[in-house]
Structure 1
């Protein structure tokens, strides 16, 4: 009897609604994979001082991951950019093997980081990028405690059709600076349960998370990652969604249990 494919849970980067994955999710759906989105509290909150990285992670864990796992679902965590900080912490202790050892059904069977931020326990994203914001992060815009990215297209979407510029620029959502400045809790990718189940997609022409810093994160993690290179900007799920599906599906097939 064939096992159902795992559910892919998407975690978007900062400044983005999870609907940014709609075209990519449709591609995975067509390949037989159910999908779900997680949203973080630090995306344009009414009170930017009330949020943190750890609160984002706990929210994702309690509202998306645990409900799926408790239904017996296997999950692949697919994270982009800041989603890597949140997803890494949210998935801690939820591997398939850990849950099986606790006589629980379901579990996370693999981690896919697409230009994902990798931070260690007790580290903030700001620290992980060198302790200072890059120039495209516009602090305290449009109001205190929030930030925006500018220029949008050059930073995030360098290989996206210019006809989409208006929609992509309008889709820029303020994000709380506290999300980048508060420490993360222990990440799932450190766990031996994910040996052979970690993939990092390196975006070679990335102007947001440049290739050199992606490589620093991978090296500093101290664990083994399988890597895939895509000659794209920061958001290939916008510019080349079908290529992302093709690149990722072979790993997902291996992770089925």
Structure 2
């Protein structure tokens, strides 16, 4: 397939980060012929954290990023969602699968979902509930100010398999995140739809200190749907520690989506 006909890859970051965190992955995806597009959402470092919510994030990604790519730019889309980005992207892509939209007369749609250590929440479930109802000790609540949170120590929790020399650069990528994003309920997720059967992929990060592999397993089982799961012996950020290998796996996933 020519690069002009390949889907756009929408990159949805995890909490405490922005799409800039995918920068090391981009050259490898571009070399494979793919165009990428950032998928930010407003609960990352907001001016007013009291206005944040999972629903606000979901609606923002859907209305401001995903629908314009599908309807205005006429692009098919594959979504890569990291960590909390799975909650946001899952809700944003609801009823936007290519099969669903084709039945409605649209020529474009979401052809696949790829979660990288992605958080999986059910309809009406908050991320905080999905992790057991308590924040892990590395999430510092109401820091640097009321309603925000940070991860400390970020290097040990998020980048445990990364070169320590990168610490100053990686620290600059981390942003405070609104607590209400984690504490408010998510909407019904797209991955639960039959239109995404054989179009769900999951990169399971087995050395993850943020989302431990056993937690990822629990989320996958809870979803009650089939995912194509590939294990990566990495920490939470394989697009930093293993970008070339991750890009190769992403292209394999997309090849499978396109072939269906």
Q: Which of the five TM-score ranges fits, normalised by the shorter chain?
A: over 0.9
- 8 A contact 1:11–1:38 mirrored in 2: yes
Distance 1:197 1:25 in 2: 22
**Number of the residue aligned with 1:31:** 32
RMSD over aligned Cα atoms: 1.1
Residues 1:164 and 2:177 aligned together:
no
User: Pairwise mapping of residues 60-99 of structure 1 onto structure 2 (< 5 A)?
Assistant: 60-70=61-71, 71-99=73-101
Residue 23 of structure 1: CA displacement? 1.6
**SS in structure 1 opposite 2:252?**
helix
- 8 A contact 2:94–2:189 mirrored in 1: yes
Residue 168 of structure 1: CA displacement? 1.2
Query: Relative to structure 2, which stretch is displaced further, 105-114 or 164-173?
Result: 164-173
Distance 2:92 2:132 in 1: 24
Give the counterpart of 1:228 among 227, 230, 234: 230
Deviations 1:32-56 (A, max 9, x none): 1110001110011111010100110
- 8 A contact 1:9–1:78 mirrored in 2: yes
**Number of the residue aligned with 1:44:** 45
Give the counterpart of 1:106 among 105, 108, 111: 108
**Number of the residue aligned with 1:153:** 155
Gaps of 5+ in 1: none
- 8 A contact 1:6–1:256 mirrored in 2: no
Runs of 4+ more than 4 Å apart: none
Residue 255 of structure 1: CA displacement? 1.5
Give the counterpart of 1:137 among 136, 139, 145: 139
**SS in structure 1 opposite 2:235?**
coil
**SS in structure 2 opposite 1:256?**
helix
**SS in structure 1 opposite 2:60?**
helix
Distance 1:17 1:56 in 2: 13
- 8 A contact 1:27–1:241 mirrored in 2: yes
Deviations 1:208-245 (A, max 9, x none): 00000000000000000010000000001001100101
User: Pairwise mapping of residues 144-223 of structure 1 onto structure 2 (< 5 A)?
Assistant: 144-223=146-225
Residues 1:53 and 2:39 aligned together:
no
- 8 A contact 2:20–2:173 mirrored in 1: no
TM-score (norm 1): 0.98
**SS in structure 1 opposite 2:115?**
strand
Q: How many pairs does the alignment contain?
A: 257
Residue 160 of structure 1: CA displacement? 0.5
- 8 A contact 1:11–1:18 mirrored in 2: yes
Residue 251 of structure 1: CA displacement? 1.4
Gaps of 5+ in 2: none
Distance 2:56 2:172 in 1: 27
